[in-house]
Amino acid sequence: MIEDDFYSTIKLTSGEEIFAKVAASDEDDRMMLILDHPVTIENVERNGNVIGYKLEPWLKTTTEDMFLLDMCYVMTMTESTDIQIISLYQNFVRQFDKMRKARQPKIDRKMGYISTVGDAKDLLEKIFKDS
């Protein structure tokens, strides 16, 4: 059973602090969290004053954006209602998804022949028979 999702700050037993859109799910006698686009948030300071925040993906070497986290690794968590942080997070997710789509190559004729599976099969069979 999956509960409604919410924005949350999570402190892990490893000491990491992450922010994500979270849904709780009860899976086989244990509670799991489904994390959507988890990020780390750092204060940006100037002269000792916080002037902003820096958001980065929690895991930097993956293209996945959803993760399962067992509650046994959670020290504490709190639902966030901070409109500024939620807005920054939503903006980050939109930019992250847009950047990922931009990195995917667009298919065109310069990459090779574009055809249906049936046409490609017929062409390959003809080439095989002619050789």
Instruction: Give this prediction's pTM.
Output: 0.70
> Looking up tokens 């959803």, which residue turns up?
66
Write down the pLDDT at residue 3: 61
Q: Looking at per-residue confidence, does 92 or 99 come out higher?
A: 92
49-89 pLDDT tens trace: 888 888 999 998 888 889 999 999 999 999 999 999 999 99
Regarding predicted confidence, which is higher, 104 or 94?
A: 94
Domain 6-130 coded CATH 2.30.30.100: yes
Q: What is the pLDDT of residue 105?
A: 66
Rounded CA-CA distance 93/38 in Å is 9
Above 80 in pLDDT, residue 102?
A: no
User: In the prediction, which pLDDT does 90 show?
Assistant: 94
Instruction: Note the pLDDT of residue 130.
Output: 87
Q: Where are the domains of the chain?
A: 6-130
